[in-house]
Structure 1
Amino acid sequence: MTGAVAAGTGISPSLAGRRVQVKVPATSANLGPGFDTLGLALAKYDELEVSVPTESTGQDVPRLDIEVHGVGAGEVPLDETHLVVRAIAHTFARAGVPLPPLRLVAHNSIPHGRGLGSSGAAIVAGVVAAQGLLDGIVEFSADELLDLATELEGHPDNVAPALFGGLTIAWVTPEGPRHKKLIVHRGVSPLVLVPEHEMSTALARSLQPESVPHEDAVFNVSRSALLIAALIQSPELLFQATEDKLHQHYRAKAMPETDRLIRVLREAGHPAVVSGAGPSILVLASDPSERAAAIALVEASADTAWQALPLAVDFKGATVVNAER
């Protein structure tokens, strides 16, 4: 799918001809008890090329030219409202540099509306693409990149692992969002089970109550702490560590098949949780054989089609390569 928006002129000589290639991982947030705090980068990627054209004598240069392949082709907007473009514009505005004409070619593989951080990935792609285009003109720190992405996403739990990779703990301070990246134990074998239907993050959040019982809050504090230990050191604790009383059961009525399959998986001993806002399921298996057993169980139990994605943990996060002019 392609589209072009209004012609324009006047490209800064320092930006003309610049081209960057960006790769951003999918993410799974919450991980059970770590609501709005924990996130995991997964080895499934959106890849983009963003370039500033060189003006041709006597010809107008399209201000915006977008081409989308794969997930979202024919569905996402091909104008200034495209989320990657919004993130690029936001970053240029923060840098105080006028936004030049842009050409964007996206090859997307992260499912949309399934709880795998597709919007966070798009935002991060735009932020790091802008960082690459502005290389040598404006420099951004890691905290500034996280702040830019969080301003658009609204919370840092998805954009932090998309930016930095691995397991991230994200929190917000008066000075802005912050993160800590941790390396996941090599024995952890993530499995994502993706249904055909989507889920609105806004709807999922609307089902969350303003307050929860004190004992539920204490329960989740203990499980969140245990989950960190399980993911980086003791995978055998993952089943107990993924218990949650803070958000999943409140959202269950909006995704009954997800809730039912999680119950089936957990009754069989698999550490299954809702991936992000859902409706996908994340199984944090402790070895590949457990992952295979979980796939077989879902195939035998599901009422609808579910795609099984055995994925590695991504340890790099978003990458940007400055191509030659």
Structure 2
Amino acid sequence: MRLTVRVPASTANLGPGFDSFGLALALHDVIELEVTPSGLEVEVIDAGAGEMKGVPTDGTHLIVRALRRACRVLDVDLPGVRLRCHNAIPHSRGLGSSAAAVVAGIAAGYALAGRAIDDLALQLAAEFEGHADNAAASLFGGFVVAWNSGGRFHAERLEPHAAIRPVVAIPSTRSSTREARGLLPERVPLADAAFSVSRAALGVYAMTERPELLFTATDDRLHQAYRAPAYPDTARLVRTLREHGVAAAVSGAGPTVLALTTTGILPEDVGVEGFDVTELAIDPTGVHITAR
């Protein structure tokens, strides 16, 4: 069997929705998969000329690991596999490249099993990262709210308002999700927690019904300030955009900046030197598989 898997990038948190909010973006990795009699072959094709240096091409590749995990759980025989990975999602930029790879592998396993994506697929994908926001967005598309209950991951897809036009500012520098998480404190002041809870609750309403409230809804006191020393240019751009009334936040663990606009552009007088700024539509459907 031959499959083509198309999986979108994602942005997580959207300000205060830490490990809970995810949004699928129309920037896609495309994986061509062929089941073979034996062996493993992985080819990585980078749309960004050298971006993927150091990506493994053996059994440790995330897609391979996720594919094998899904096949074990779904009782699918996988004697050998050939993968060709056309990567467009930049790595280590806060755009869900790791989650996209995992989702691609899980979805391919489901296709080989002849099964539709279900709640178990989310569980398998989220286990790789320990949270479901990026994985759920790449699986289901649109705007997602994810949570963990007793070790089980869940997510609900909501329809984002049609007026929302995300803009991302992607720097050339990278960040490590693990290092960024290491900067977070074990406890935060009660006032900051209450502030972020109220903004996150408002965020669901703003994302789906009232985009004019997104500026207030993306304000955060839970995690972004603690991570700012890891990417000062990102923190500066978020601060400057917000001073101009733009609903800006750090995308995931950074260092990409997310702006939730209704125009698709940033103010002209905001300095974006060192960032590649582009509008990305919201991906409405999530991972897509074609059998050949």
Shorter-normalised TM-score: what interval?
A: over 0.9
Residue of structure 2 equivalent to 1:87? 66
Describe the SS at the equivalent of 1:160. Answer: helix
Q: Deviation at 1:74?
A: 3.9
**Contact 1:19 1:133 (8 Å CA) reproduced:** no
* 3-state SS of 2:173 partner: coil
- Larger CA deviation: 100-109 vs 90-99: 90-99
Secondary structure of the equivalent of 1:264? helix
Alignment correspondent of 1:4: none
1:43 is the counterpart of 2:59: no
**How many angstroms does 1:21 deviate by?**
0.7
Offset, 1:292: 2.1
Counterpart of 2:5? 22
Residue in 2 that maps onto 1:240: 216
SS in 1 for 2:170: strand
For residue 95 of structure 1, report the CA deviation from its aligned partner: 2.0
* Matching residue of 1:13: none
Q: Following superposition of structure 1 onto structure 2, how do residues 200-211 of structure 1 map, counting pairs within 5 Å?
A: 200-211=176-187
Q: What do you get for the CA RMSD once the two structures are aligned?
A: 1.4
Letter paired with 1:100: P
Structure 1 residue 228, shift from structure 2 partner:
0.9
Residue in structure 2 matched with residue 293 of structure 1 by the alignment:
266
Which of 53, 57, 79 does residue 100 from structure 1 map onto? Answer: 79
Q: Which whole-Å CA distance do the structure 1 matches of 2:112 and 2:43 have between them?
A: 19
Gaps (5+ residues) in structure 1? 1-17, 56-60
TM-score normalized by the length of structure 1: 0.86
1:9 is aligned to none
Assess if the C-alpha contact under 8 Å between 2:35 and 2:78 holds in 1: no
Cα drift, residue 173 of structure 1 = 1.7
Note the C-alpha offset of 1:174.
2.5
* Residue number among 99, 106, 109 corresponding to 1:120 in the alignment: 99
Aligned to 1:256: 232
Find the structure with the greater CA-based Rg.
1
Is 2:180 the partner of 1:197? no
Matched, 1:111 2:90: yes
Q: Secondary structure at the residue paired with 2:265?
A: helix
Using the alignment, how far apart are the partners of 1:293 and 1:34 within structure 2? 23
**Counterpart position of 2:277:** 308
Pairing 1:146-225 to 2, within 5 Å after superposition: 146-174=122-150, 176-225=152-201
Q: What amino acid does structure 2 have at the position aligned with 1:112?
A: H
| Contact kept? 2:66, 2:105, Cα under 8 Å | yes
Change (3 A) 1:73 1:203: closer
Letter in 2 for 1:292: I
- Structure 2 unaligned spans of 5+: none
Q: 1:73 offset after TM fit, Å?
A: 4.2
Superimposed CA distance per residue, residues 218-263 of structure 1 (whole angstroms, 9 cap, x where no aligned partner)? 1111101111111111111111111000000000011101011111
Q: CA deviation at 1:141?
A: 5.2
Structure 2: which amino acid aligns with 1:182? Answer: L
4+ residue segments displaced more than 6 Å: none
